[in-house]
Amino acid sequence: MASATVCVSYHFDAVSTWLWAFDAWDMPTRHSRGVYGADVGTPRLLDLHDEHDLPSTWCIPGHTIESFPAACEAIADAGHGIQHHGWTHRGPSSYESREAERADIERGIESIVALTGERPTGYASPAWDFSEHTLDILLELGFEWDSSVMAADFTPHYLRRGWRAPADAPYERGEPTDIVELPPSWERDDFPPFTYTWAGPHRMGYTDEEMIFRKWRDQFDWMCEHVDGGVYVLTLHPQVIGQAHRIGRLEELLEHMYSRDGVEFERMATVAKRFREQNPPEAQ
């Protein structure tokens, strides 16, 4: 039996996700989907984790921290990890300059420090978007780990910088940095299959929900059978997974996971720290 780790991560975007995507709708009806995440989804999820005594990691934009302070304080008070997800929820590659991108990340750090008293050690980029500057900015600001890059599925590794991707020459991967990557996946994210929008670039929703939960469970089972020390990062959004017809299925999935021998639930910061200790960057 291979040992395995589950990291349940919540991207608590709340209203922020509706301000920079999906035609940037500035309407209370659109905002309300994010307010639901703060007012309804988050308390339900905190109750679920409390009931089963499972740690989790919340990647929270500063916009959410300052818009919904009580919900964020409840997350912190419950002992869950709180990590960086931008101040806005704007994709890093959309900034007009390196300075503007860095200023947003610095502002997000300040919001988290004001909430928890500690700097975040990890970063998950909004919509897993990365600019040519993002990794260097994370290094400058002392981040220790990231969860945005999908070059592996269940295996932590060190992110590389200095990649080159000319269309008319081979791809160059670059050199390892000392930032640990805990790979997420669109295949383990609730937003694309479950959330309906009626503007580009995203229109999904009304999918076979049983099939999606089965896909997540199948990935977990395969990892446990085939990847020794695998790390399973599940990315969920309170405004999506907190809906009544999903939270029961999430509970079943979590029970399936923690009932298996050798499986631990951990905060992402804990997993990244252990990987760094067992695989020192200077030894790479």
Write out the two tokens for 14. Answer: 């709340």
Please give the Cα distance from 145 to 180 (Å, whole number). 4
Least separation in angstroms between residue 85's CB and Zn ion is 6
121 phi/psi in degrees, rounded to 5 = -100, -15
Give the nearer residue to Zn ion in terms of CB position, either 55 or 86. Answer: 86
Give the nearer residue to Zn ion in terms of CB position, either 177 or 246. Answer: 246
Q: Binding to Zn ion (CB under 5 A): which residues in 9-68? A: 11, 13
Q: Which amino acid is at 190?
A: D
With CB under 5 A as the contact rule, which of the stretches 5-13, 36-44, 65-73, 243-251 interacts with Zn ion? 5-13
With CB under 5 A as the contact rule, which of the stretches 7-15, 70-78, 205-213, 217-225 interacts with Zn ion? 7-15
Least separation in angstroms between residue 243's CB and Zn ion is 17
Nearest to 182 by CA among 9, 17, 53: 9
- Decide if residue 80 touches Zn ion (CB under 5 A): no
Q: Which amino acid is at 149?
A: V
Give the nearer residue to Zn ion in terms of CB position, either 13 or 181. Answer: 13
Write out the two tokens for 134. Answer: 């993002």
Give the nearer residue to Zn ion in terms of CB position, either 13 or 146. Answer: 13
Q: Who contacts 81 (Cβ-Cβ below 8 Å, separation ≥6)? A: 55, 56, 57, 58, 122, 267, 268, 269, 270
Alpha-carbon dihedral of residues 85, 89, 93, 96, nearest 10 degrees? -120
Least separation in angstroms between residue 90's CB and Zn ion is 10
- Closest-CB residue for Zn ion? 11
Q: Who contacts 239 (Cβ-Cβ below 8 Å, separation ≥6)? A: 13, 14, 33, 34, 36, 37, 41
Q: To which H or E segment does residue 32 belong?
A: helix 28-36
Least separation in angstroms between residue 89's CB and Zn ion is 5
Least separation in angstroms between residue 224's CB and Zn ion is 28
Please give the Cα distance from 27 to 18 (Å, whole number). 9
Q: Are 119 and 109 in contact (CB under 8 A)?
A: yes
With CB under 5 A as the contact rule, which of the stretches 4-12, 103-111, 158-166, 193-201 interacts with Zn ion? 4-12
Give the nearer residue to Zn ion in terms of CB position, either 201 or 280. Answer: 201
Least separation in angstroms between residue 255's CB and Zn ion is 26
Give the nearer residue to Zn ion in terms of CB position, either 11 or 84. Answer: 11
Residues in contact with Zn ion, total (CB under 5 A)?
Answer: 2
Least separation in angstroms between residue 280's CB and Zn ion is 31
Give the nearer residue to Zn ion in terms of CB position, either 41 or 230. Answer: 41
Binding stretches for Zn ion (CB under 5 A): 11, 13
